[in-house]
Copies of this chain bind each other. A is one copy, B any other.
Amino acid sequence: MNISKLEFDTEARPTIAKRIAESLRDAIVSLDLKPGDAISESDIAARFGVSRQPVREAFIQLAEQGLLRIRPQRSTEVVRISIRDVLNARFVREALEVAVVRKAAAECANMPADTFEDLFREQMAASDANDYRAFHARDDAFHRLIAKLSGNEFVWKLIDAQKVQMDRVRYLSLKLGMPATIREHRDIGEAILSGNPDLAEAQMRKHLRKIDTQIHQIRDLNREYFQEE
């Protein structure tokens, strides 16, 4: 037996800071922590039963993702949703997703026709059950799968980073348009499997740009969560 190539995952033990960051991110995206809320290092530290240091590192990370605004000596607050920032994130995400979906469509030769079927079925089930969490998880999984099929799964990390800016809007739109989303995913999937990059690109752009119109409705219904601009 050749043992020389054995390795185990050295990143397996996440630090407290990372866990805190993840937990806070979930809380922010799910609007458990509301836009505009002020939080402090010591407050969160006490709530988690840890010291300020790892919390501080989590804050810094979330601030870089644009979810927190750290004002030294003043406060740290959950940033309000900015239409501008959401659209900027959408622009970047679109550029990236178009690139990968085109590649996926171009290299579809050896893909089985039922590549997406499991995902679609699960997502429809989630939709019928009004299980938003599962629905969104499957939504992400679909987009991630496309990146993987294109041979550029690493791009998902960036798409995901952009997505956080859009996730709160998506959360607020909840019941709006779950069936429509599934239909759009089907269109994208078919375009990929038919090996048509141009069509896949068009469908993807159409899918992603729906947020441009949705966001204004969402803001009008949730003014207090949005930045005045």
Contact = CB atoms under 8 A, between A and B. Distances in A.
Interface of A: 10, 13, 15, 53, 57, 60-61, 64, 71-72, 88, 91-92, 94-96, 98-99, 152, 154-155, 158
A155 B88 CA distance: 8
Contact of A155 (B92, B99, B158): B92
Contact of A152 (B64, B91, B152, B155): B91
Contacts of A13: 72
Nearest to A100: B95
The 5 closest A-B pairs by CB, nearest first: A95-B99, A95-B95, A88-B154, A95-B96, A91-B152
A189 to B, nearest CB: 21
B158 A71 contact: no
Given A88-B154, A98-B99, 12 more contacts: A10-B71, A53-B53, A57-B60, A60-B60, A60-B61, A61-B64, A88-B152, A88-B155, A91-B152, A95-B95, A96-B96, A158-B158
A64 B58 CA distance: 13
A155 B72 contact: no
A77 to B, nearest CB: 13
Contacts of A88: 152, 154-155
Contacts of A60: 57, 60-61
Contacts of A72: 10, 13, 15
Nearest to A150: B91
Contacts of A57: 57, 60
